[in-house]
């Protein structure tokens, strides 16, 4: 599809409620704030030290004193504040973040997540991901359904875990899946794909929700 | 009273083999002048504790490129390819710690606490070798304090007592690191007169700071 990332981000945005404290991971999740439903205002946390992060500043007013969690120039909204890392992660571990949206290398039907290391190949590190996924009230994985055809949604992750049993929902260009005690429940599907195609692109057995809806943004 | 010293004098306080905490997040809020002087001096076999490996040729990355760092304790090194290269050749040991755990372990180190319990990392390889303590049915990892021989921090305004005010997101790890080392060097973007930082606005108290370097940025 044309703008899969924008489509995924727009669908994730519908999960956010007015007043939520939200953390958005680097990459696709950052786009979620561009699609907030009308009347929904959120407080964005940037774990390096901003409570109430604003929009990306233009190059002109970018201050080297304010960066986001990717180290890129950032801004703070009026009414926002700066915190040190210990306070920031106190906010995170303390359950004060309502929703975190993050990407995955692999995610599985038990809600386990792997997104910080490919042993022997790539070792970027976990940064704040382990704390965010454990601490946030709701964890949404936003990502492409497969990695160029290779399954990313699995029965069991093969890469080292970021956290176990913390993922609540997976949103991809193909559909929306809820992590349940029985496994992954497909609750919405993108009508551009058949259910067979979605299952074939998934490395775990999908439970088709009795209330299956079309994915709309 | 903290002592104002030249940057050259400051780096002489750091010895070969020292464990050094360096503040900053991707170089934002890092003590760049002191890092440059340390790179120039060539102090070796350092164990550096810093959130990240920064960007190539920026901040703490300079010490990694120059081969002065024996071990890097960090949370994220993915944006500096030099770290991965040196890890693969065995020139650099890297220990990765979840960011919140990194901050809190340093806070424990500076606050006289024997450690803390966190849910972060349970069930992952981070838990290997760590004690698990169950409280109210939840399994927590016991994480131990982190301290260093020297902490190098950076503040925007520092007065002669060593009181520090930070601008923007530069507080990051500077605040906790200032409490957790035997010797603390604070680089000031501006050294200001006593009284220029209102007591309400002092973030790091001067009692934590031993030496001040005038970075003279702006």
Per the structure, the complete domain to which residue A158 belongs is given by: 4-47+95-214
Shortest alpha-carbon distance between residue B107 and chain A (Å)? 7
| Three-state SS annotation for A161-215 | CCECCCCCEEECCCEEEEEECCEEEEEEECCCCCHHHHHHCCECCEEEEEEEEEC
Q: What is the CATH number of the domain that holds A37?
A: 3.40.1080.10
Residue B204's pLDDT is 98
Residue B127 lies in a domain: no
Structural domains counted in chain B: 1
Residue A177 lies in a domain: yes
Contacts of A119 in chain B (CB under 8 A): none
Tell me the average pLDDT across B45-70: 97
Residue B149's pLDDT is 98
Residue B217's pLDDT is 59
Residue A123 lies in a domain: yes
Kindly tell me if the per-residue pLDDT of A28 is higher than 50. Answer: yes
Strands of the sheet with A50-53, listed across from one edge: A76-82, A50-53, A43-46, A21-24, A99-102, A138-142, A169-171, A175-180, A183-189, A206-214
Residue B121 lies in a domain: no
Tell me the average pLDDT across B87-102: 96
Residue B8 lies in a domain: yes
Distances, alpha carbon B174 to alpha carbons A86, B18, B155, B170, B180, in Å: 10, 18, 8, 8, 10
Residue A197 lies in a domain: yes
Band (pLDDT 50/70/90 cuts) for residue B87 is: very high
Band (pLDDT 50/70/90 cuts) for residue A1 is: confident
Residue B129 lies in a domain: no
* List of residues 6+ apart from B137 with CB closer than 8 A: none
Shortest alpha-carbon distance between residue A48 and chain B (Å)? 6
Residue A85 lies in a domain: no
- Report the 10 Å Cβ neighbour count for B55: 16
The one catalytic residue among A47, A106, A185, A188: A47
Shortest alpha-carbon distance between residue A171 and chain B (Å)? 24
Q: What is the CATH number of the domain that holds B90?
A: 3.40.1080.10
ipTM of the complex: 0.96
**Counting one residue from A and one from B, how many pairs have CB atoms under 8 Å apart?**
153
Contact at CB, B119 and A134, closer than 8 angstroms: yes
Contact at CB, A93 and B119, closer than 8 angstroms: yes
Residue B186 lies in a domain: yes
Tell me if residue A109 is catalytic. no
* List of residues 6+ apart from A197 with CB closer than 8 A: A174
Residue A80 lies in a domain: no
Residue B100 lies in a domain: yes
Contact at CB, A163 and B124, closer than 8 angstroms: yes
Average pLDDT, chain A: 96
Residue B218's pLDDT is 44
Per the structure, the complete domain to which residue B19 belongs is given by: 3-113+144-214
Q: Which residue of A has its CA nearest to B125?
A: A160
Tell me if B164 sits within 8 A of B186, measured CB to CB. yes
Over the stretch B137-171, which tens digit does the pLDDT of each residue have?
A: 999 999 999 999 999 999 999 999 999 999 999 99
């Amino acid at each position: 599809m044309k703008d899969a990332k924008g489509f995924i981000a727009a669908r994730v945005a519908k999960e956010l409620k007015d007043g939520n404290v939200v953390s958005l991971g680097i990459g696709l999740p950052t786009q979620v704030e561009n699609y907030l439903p009308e009347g929904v205002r959120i407080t964005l946390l940037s774990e390096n030290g901003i409570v109430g992060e604003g929009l990306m500043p233009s190059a002109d007013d970018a201050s080297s004193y304010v960066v986001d969690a990717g180290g890129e120039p950032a801004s703070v909204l009026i009414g926002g504040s700066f915190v040190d890392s210990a306070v920031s992660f106190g906010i995170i571990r303390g359950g004060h973040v309502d929703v975190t949206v993050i990407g995955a290398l692999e995610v599985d039907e038990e809600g386990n997540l792997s997104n910080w290391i490919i042993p022997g190949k790539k070792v970027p590190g976990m940064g704040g991901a382990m704390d965010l996924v454990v601490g946030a009230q709701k964890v949404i994985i936003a990502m492409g359904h497969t990695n160029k055809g290779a399954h990313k949604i699995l029965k069991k992750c093969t890469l080292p875990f970021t956290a176990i049993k913390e993922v609540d929902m997976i949103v991809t260009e193909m559909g929306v899946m809820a992590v349940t005690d029985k496994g992954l429940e497909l609750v919405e599907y993108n009508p551009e794909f058949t259910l067979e195609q979605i299952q074939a692109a998934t490395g775990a057995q999908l439970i088709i929700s009795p209330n299956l809806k079309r994915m709309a943004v | 009273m903290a002592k104002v010293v030249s940057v050259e004098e400051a780096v002489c306080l750091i010895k070969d083999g020292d464990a050094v905490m360096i503040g900053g997040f991707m170089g934002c809020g890092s003590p760049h002048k002191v890092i440059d002087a340390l790179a120039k001096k060539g102090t070796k076999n350092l164990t550096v504790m810093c959130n990240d490996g920064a960007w190539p040729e920026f901040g703490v990355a300079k010490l990694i490129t120059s081969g002065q760092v024996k071990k890097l304790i960090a949370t994220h090194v993915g944006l500096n390819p030099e770290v991965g290269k040196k890890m693969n050749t065995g020139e650099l040991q890297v220990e990765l710690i979840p960011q919140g755990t990194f901050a809190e372990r340093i806070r424990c180190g500076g606050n006289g606490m024997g450690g803390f319990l966190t849910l972060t990392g349970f069930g992952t390889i981070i838990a290997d070798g760590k004690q698990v303590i169950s409280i109210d049915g939840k399994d927590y990892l016991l994480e131990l304090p982190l301290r260093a021989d020297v902490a190098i921090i950076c503040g925007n305004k520092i007065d002669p007592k060593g009181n520090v005010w930070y601008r923007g997101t530069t507080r990051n790890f500077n605040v906790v690191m200032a409490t957790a080392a035997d010797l603390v060097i604070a680089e000031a973007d501006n050294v200001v007169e006593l009284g220029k930082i209102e007591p309400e606005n002092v973030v790091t108290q001067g009692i934590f700071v031993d030496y001040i370097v005038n970075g003279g940025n702006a």
